[in-house]
Chain A
Amino acid sequence: AQSVTQPDIHITVSEGASLELRCNYSYGATPYLFWYVQSPGQGLQLLLKYFSGDTLVQGIKGFEAEFKRSQSSFNLRKPSVHWSDAAEYFCAVVLMEYGNKLVFGAGTILRVKS
């Protein structure tokens, strides 16, 4: 079955440390790929997206993600985490043949310790 997997439910990092959140998808074709962030009581905010071209994409708030076709992965990274980055992060994909629906992973909760 087609799916989006975020293997880490919770991650805790120290402020100033680097961060990598994992995302894998199981679709035959290359989907459109997204990372969203959700703070408590807030809606989903788009961090970055990949449609085609350069496989390393830059987003807002200092985040970047790299698409690796061979690994069906789209991991999110940040070189130095700030306390305000504590939130839940969702990887999502769109497949046009599935009616343009955005399909989400289960999310990764990021905790930042000072």
Chain B
Amino acid sequence: GAGVSQSPRYKVAKRGQDVALRCDPISGHVSLFWYQQALGQGPEFLTYFQNEAQLDKSGLPSDRFFAERPEGSVSTLKIQRTQQEDSAVYLCASRGPGANVLTFGAGSRLTVL
């Protein structure tokens, strides 16, 4: 597609629920990144894929967070047993081969009640 597409744009979950956030990167972009942006803060790195391989997951805050990209295109970020501190905007970005610039999606705003 023309840009990075994320869904849902808004998600409200009760504490303890599982959520899944989807990212559809720009066609042909091999690198995909997930970031978490808490209110009033800059985005924080969560994880990075090169095609289907998850090369870096050092930013995932706990084992409740899981990301996958099974066919090297669409990615899903899953959060199990959501907690209030998981409330944030989750940003996805992609990057083409040999490029150094990330293109970001509009984000998925998660609110955990």
Contacts and interface: CB of A to CB of B under 8 A. Distances in A.
Interface of A: 32, 34, 36, 41-46, 49, 51, 90, 94, 99-107
Interface of B: 4, 31, 33, 41-45, 48, 55-56, 91, 93, 100-107
B106 A101 contact: no
Most buried by B among A44, A99, A106: A44
A55 B41 CA distance: 28
A94 B42 contact: no
Contacts of B42: 90, 104-107
Contacts of A34: 101
B48 to A, nearest CB: 6
Given A32-B100, A100-B31, A44 B41 contact: no
Contacts of B55: 99
Q: State the main secondary structure of chain A at its contact with B.
A: strand
A102 B48 CA distance: 11
Given A99-B55, A101-B56, A102-B33, A44 B43 contact: yes
A90 B42 CA distance: 7
B101 A46 contact: yes
B45 A44 contact: no
A107 B105 contact: no
A94 B48 CA distance: 14
A92 to B, nearest CB: 8
